[in-house]
Amino acid sequence: MLRFGAPSTTITSSTAVTTRVSPTTSSHIPFTVSPLSDSRRSSSYCFQQLLSCSSRLNSHRNKATAEAAETMSGSIVSASGSKQALISLSDKKDLDLLATGLQELGYTIVSTGGTASALEKAGINVTKVEELTKFPEMLDGRVKTLHPNVHGGILARRDQNHHMEALDKHNISTFELVVVNLYPFYEKVTSPNGVTFDDGIENIDIGGPTMIRAAAKNHKDVLVVVDTQDYPLVLEFLKGNKDDQQFRKKLAWKAFQHVASYDTAVSEWLWNQISPEDKFPPAFTLSHSLKSSLRYGENPHQKAAFYTDSSLSEFNGGGIATAIQHHGKEMSYNNYLDADAAWNCVCEFEKPTCVVVKHTNPCGVASRDDLIEAYHLAVKADPVSAFGGIVAFNKPVDEALARDIREFRSPTDGETRMFYEIVVAPSYTEKGLEILRGKSKTLRILEAKKNKSGKLSLRQVGGGWLAQDSDDLTPEEIKFDVVSKKVPEASELEDAKFAWLCVKHVKSNAIVIAKNNCMLGMGSGQPNRLESLRIALRKAGDEVKGAALASDAFFPFAWKDAVEEACESGIGMIAEPGGSIRDGDAVDCCNKYDVSLVFTGVRHFRH
């Protein structure tokens, strides 16, 4: 199925339908197709049809003035005296269902190439488009439907006498229905084996979008269909023989949105061919598809919805947007934000790790060979915040872990069973999933794939968007320069790297205190770094002695400020970016208290 475009909406109309030939090597994308006229007729029959056409057009002219003020919905038929449908499909799913239904309703089906062949095999009478155009398909199929005999029949306004007179003069029949879906460009350029530039270009559809746009523009008279899921509703609408302009407008909107999404993918692909290393083109368009309507936004008075990103860059990109929900209540706006924060954080770690998040901030993080132990330590870091939070694991959840999650009591009183909004992991054993489902009817259980690195990060501001590279740096890519007299032990440096990995996911101003691959305390979101430090120290308690501290940005002051307070508390090592004009004070302060200090040269602000 085509991965970009709007959610399906059905719209009906009595217009002609055309078909086109799709590349034989391309994969199928669902699109709507319009039926074509019957196979070749005898010359006497054609003469009768022309006479019928003239009579029909004259009758139409007499009624045009009286009916111009009314909305017209396909009551005008083609010059041949029958209603015409134009069908051109790459994805031929349910083509026989649609064509049979249209034939039963008296439609003549016009089609091209592969679609026409499929219709003939299904026993459906079909007129090939070249019989209409009196011109053969040419340029390796690039030119098939780009002809006045096709587009005149689509674009002619039935309430305009001069339009109908022009059709009469040139012996052009109207189309009441146009059913088209496009070459599978998205699927072609994202195929596992890749695609050459020339092959990608050949899979850019030209005739299809042209017919879709023409029919959508003239939607008052022509019904346009681009989604196979709309076939049953369209047939039902046509059977009713009634006008519904709202339905027609919805189908027209869907058609334009479909083409816009298609062109967005082409544009993104071409830019990547031109400047593969440049993520910031002079202009770009985003294509999103509605995944779900949400109960509300951040607050009950705010309406909200969730959309998936259909960009080529997001193909197989992982992340919460593509997670599978195995159990629980529907996801809310805040659930998505918190689950995304927890998943992004836990995926940073190679060792078995558990992350607990509350309001997008990790309040507990621990890595252990035993994932159950890691889970206990992550909750213990801040059990009050963990209650009602999100728990994320970077390894599969088995039966033993699931049972522990279900029964684990709060470390604060040893009695209260821990409650969570969401559990997210890369996979679950069958028994583990069964046990977790028994914890609560509301517990949301998500299975997600790791986020692909190198993505573009977008954030909206009033009237515009900010774009930046995602913050994908890991401690292994950063040099921890020792600037103090005391050189840290290997274990202390590992603690600093662990804290550094955690602090990049905490809202600024951010401080994380950690020891033995376990977060002991964190301070987040404070207007000044000193307050964040004090919060982190309070949460760490007596365990702060000898622990490592990481700061997401440099300390502007040292003496009688955050650095000195950290040293006085018993912190054994501090990791910070450096870069302050008072870095020397921080070094002197750490030397005075015999604390190791390292500069990373990398800041991790998170607003």
Residues known to be catalytic: 217, 359
Kindly give the pairing relationship between strand 548-551 and strand 573-576: parallel
- Contact between 323 and 344 (Cβ < 8 Å): no
Q: Give the pLDDT band (50/70/90) at residue 57.
A: very low
- Contact between 79 and 170 (Cβ < 8 Å): no
Question: What string of DSSP letters covers 287-314?
Answer: -EEEEEEES-SSSTTS-EEEEEE--GGG
Nearest to 124 by CA among 21, 209, 19: 19
Percent of the chain residues topping a pLDDT of 90: 54
Is the pLDDT at 22 greater than 60? The verdict is no
If you compute the radius of gyration of the chain from its CA atoms, what whole number of angstroms results?
32
Distances from the Cα of 37 to the Cαs of 176, 209, 212, 453, in angstroms? 12, 21, 19, 52
Q: Of 125-134, 405-414, 454-463, 582-591, which range is least confident?
A: 125-134
Burial class from Cβ neighbours inside 10 Å (0-12, 13-18, 19+) for residue 573 reads: buried
- For residues 115 and 98, give the distance between their C-alpha atoms in angstroms, rounded to a whole number: 12
Tokens of 42: 């005898």
Q: What is the mean pLDDT of residues 143-152?
A: 79
Q: Of 379-383, 413-417, 542-546, which range is least confident?
A: 413-417
Q: What is the mean pLDDT of residues 359-387?
A: 96
Q: Measured on CA atoms in the order 266, 267, 272, 274, is the torsion positive or negative?
A: positive
Distances from the Cα of 577 to the Cαs of 478, 480, 583, in angstroms? 10, 9, 10
- For residues 87 and 21, give the distance between their C-alpha atoms in angstroms, rounded to a whole number: 10
Query: Tens of pLDDT along 133-145?
Result: 777 776 766 777 7
Q: What is the mean pLDDT of residues 151-171?
A: 85
Q: How many C-alpha atoms does 601 have within 13 Å on its Cβ side?
A: 7
What pLDDT is attached to residue 81? 54
Distances from the Cα of 85 to the Cαs of 99, 129, 213, 605, in angstroms? 9, 11, 16, 58
Distances from the Cα of 449 to the Cαs of 350, 452, 559, 577, in angstroms? 15, 9, 46, 31
Q: Give the pLDDT band (50/70/90) at residue 149.
A: confident
Distances from the Cα of 269 to the Cαs of 188, 273, 313, 585, in angstroms? 11, 6, 9, 51
